Amino acid sequence: MNLHAHRAIDPATLGALVLQADHWRRSPASVGGPAGHKEWSHFCIFGRDLDLLINFSLMDAFGAIETPRLTVLMREPGGDWTGDVDAYASSALEIDEGGVDLRLGPNRLRFRDGAYELDLALRRQALRARLRLELASRPALTTSVPLADGPGMRWFVVPRLEASGTVVWRGGRRELVRAPAYHDHDWGSFRWGGDFSWEWGIGLADEAVPWTLVFQRISDRGRLRTLSQGVLLWRGDRHLRTLHGSELSVHSEGRTSTRGALRVPRIMSLVSPGRAADLPARIRVEARRGADALDIEFELGDLAQVAIPNDVGRGATIVSEVRSEVRVEGQVRGEPVCFEGPGLVEMNRAAA
Amino acid sequence: MRQPDFPAFLDRSLTILRVEAPDHHAELASTLGRRGLRCEVDGPTVALRFEGSRHALREPDHREEMFLRTDWTTILDLVDGELSLLEALLEERLWLTGSADAVTRFDEALVCYLGGAIRCPSLPALLAELRVSRLAAAPKPAAEAPQ
């Protein structure tokens, strides 16, 4: 599928928008301000032969400022996951001040000629990737997303890109050609293990009309109180509608087993071996505003987990990345919306 | 094959823990105290005790309340998530001896040590150093015979 046909804005303008908003904010503690900063640049790619999640992060934690990490998860079509979290010393980090570009040891993120370029090599897994992700939609910058006990997170998103390049896994080479992809950049100050949890899902139609959908819900840690929730819908490169708050009704059903799921960094299986998790098998969202209506269903499948030591208490926060299929039906701004496609649901659950 | 020195590794990791995760180090000191844990990893043995808030590694006097025996391969398989603690015990790759109370205390101490270790910015470098020394200690492939 060629998404260029759906572009109503030229690549140079899109690129300028990215350069304005997708820069590294950095920790205030690095210039004498308060610690607690968290920031990451996140990419999801849905290929024919593999899916990839790539995350560059800088986090203040446990007295260290801006510990840089690269997380890569790769999923094969049968549902097997591999990947790792590679932490680096601060001395291995180079950031283009006020820019998108970052170098972390041998790994590199750059923005050039309207595209993100990623060069990656995990230390202890035989996984390397060289990718170019071209913009296929307008970026968006959200207002602050409140977390229960912090000032909240800001969120920059490019909901649709096209990823091409090469992935080498255990010596086998795989090519990606214009695979649908997603990118966001998040930053703010909060403490892992605090009184919050989130559910976040994306769905990318691989059809004639390249619909892209993002769903997010922030709750308290016990998920008894919803702090914010929303659905954003793009048609091609254009944001079409956001529905939020009481316009959404969210239902979870069933249970997804975490048995045998990859957990990274791998040492966290030893530190935090518990597997109990109330992950649903299905999330249904009904979104309504006037004549606009969307019925969304995420069917959750296999998963991998990223475990993060809590800043609060001794436990860990387990972030489950669940490969999903998304189905959407409805009508927005008078236009019928009906698509299915690959998706991903991310759920964070803190354990004491 | 000369293996990395476990007592030296334990000493360095506990020193890092004391500086970078002091709450965990203090809790570990309170959990283990002077009871003594004798460790045998690929041969050499060492006894860990806490004297007040400081850890001390000494020659075992065989009055330790807990005895742990394992090897570096098992330790790294545990660290790399290739093996669970339960599997290591059931496969007899890790032995732990002591009273029920002592074994429970060891489990609490291990959870505390690991919880602190993953929060220490300097620990990954120590682990990487350990892996390099393991590689250096591995037997070299035999040279090809001359034609």
Mean pLDDT value across residues A144-149: 72
d(CA A219, CA A236): 30
Q: Do A271 and B21 touch (CB under 8 A)?
A: no
User: What is the structure's pLDDT at B12?
Assistant: 96
Mean pLDDT value across residues A202-226: 90
User: A162 lies in which domain range?
Assistant: 3-350
Provide the shortest C-alpha distance from residue B94 to chain A (in Å): 14
Nearest to A63 among B20, B115, B124 (CB): B20
Task: Give every CB contact of residue A234 below 8 A, 6+ residues apart in sequence.
Answer: A137, A159, A160, A211, A212, A213, A240
Mean pLDDT value across residues A164-188: 95
Nearest to B118 among A63, A124, A271 (CB): A271
Number of structural domains (chain A) is 1
Write down the mean pLDDT value for chain A. 92
d(CA A189, CA A26): 11
Count of CB atoms within 10 A of residue A310's CB?
20
User: What is the structure's pLDDT at A8?
Assistant: 59
Q: Considering only alpha carbons, which residue of chain B is nearest residue A269?
A: B81
Residue segments in chain B with a per-residue pLDDT below the cut of 70: 1-2, 140-147
Mean pLDDT value across residues A180-198: 93
pLDDT band of A352, cuts 50, 70, 90 = low
Cβ–Cβ < 8 Å for A48, A193? no
User: What is the structure's pLDDT at A73?
Assistant: 98
Q: Is the pLDDT of residue A64 over 90?
A: no
User: What is the structure's pLDDT at B76?
Assistant: 95
User: Of A15-19, A72-76, A139-143, A309-313, where does the model show the most confidence?
Assistant: A72-76
Q: Do B119 and A61 touch (CB under 8 A)?
A: yes
Q: Do B84 and A271 touch (CB under 8 A)?
A: no
Structure confidence by residue, pLDDT tens digits, A76-100: 999 999 999 999 988 999 998 889 9
* ipTM computed for the complex: 0.83
Using a CB-CB cut-off of 8 Å, the residues of chain A touching B24 are 314
Nearest to A266 among B81, B111, B114 (CB): B81
H-assigned helices in B33-96? 72-79, 85-90
Q: Considering only alpha carbons, which residue of chain A is nearest residue B82?
A: A266
Using a CB-CB cut-off of 8 Å, the residues of chain B touching A266 are 79-82
pLDDT band of A1, cuts 50, 70, 90 = very low
Q: Which domains does chain B have, with CATH numbers?
A: 6-130 (3.30.1050.10)
Q: Do B82 and A266 touch (CB under 8 A)?
A: yes
**Which of A269, A312, A318 best tests the B interface by mutation, with the highest count of B CBs <10 A?**
A269
Q: Is the pLDDT of residue A2 over 70?
A: no
Q: Torsion angle, CA of B104/B107/B113/B118, rounded to 10 degrees?
A: -150
Cβ–Cβ < 8 Å for B96, B133? no
Report chain B residues touching chain A, CB-CB < 8 A.
20-21, 24, 78-82, 84-85, 111-112, 114-115, 118-121, 124-125
Cβ–Cβ < 8 Å for A208, A235? no
Nearest to B121 among A64, A267, A273 (CB): A64
Q: Do B121 and A266 touch (CB under 8 A)?
A: no
Cβ–Cβ < 8 Å for A40, A186? yes
User: Which residue shows structure tokens 């690959």?
Assistant: A342
- In the numeric block, which tokens belong to residue A278? 């109330």
Nearest to A270 among B20, B24, B78 (CB): B78
Count of CB atoms within 10 A of residue A219's CB?
19
Q: Considering only alpha carbons, which residue of chain B is nearest residue A313?
A: B115
Terminal CA-to-CA distance of chain A, rounded, Å? 46
Q: Do B125 and A89 touch (CB under 8 A)?
A: yes
CATH number of the domain residue A44 falls in = 2.40.370.10
d(CA A184, CA A180): 14
Q: Do A271 and B115 touch (CB under 8 A)?
A: yes
pLDDT band of A242, cuts 50, 70, 90 = very high
pLDDT band of A148, cuts 50, 70, 90 = low
Taking the CA of residue A85 as centre, how many other CA atoms within 13 Å lie in the half-sphere pointing to its CB? 23
Distance of CA A218 to the CA centre of its chain: 15
Distance of CA A224 to the CA centre of its chain: 24
Buried b (16+ CB within 10 A) or exposed e, A175-200: ebebbbbbbbbbbbbbbbbbbbbbbb
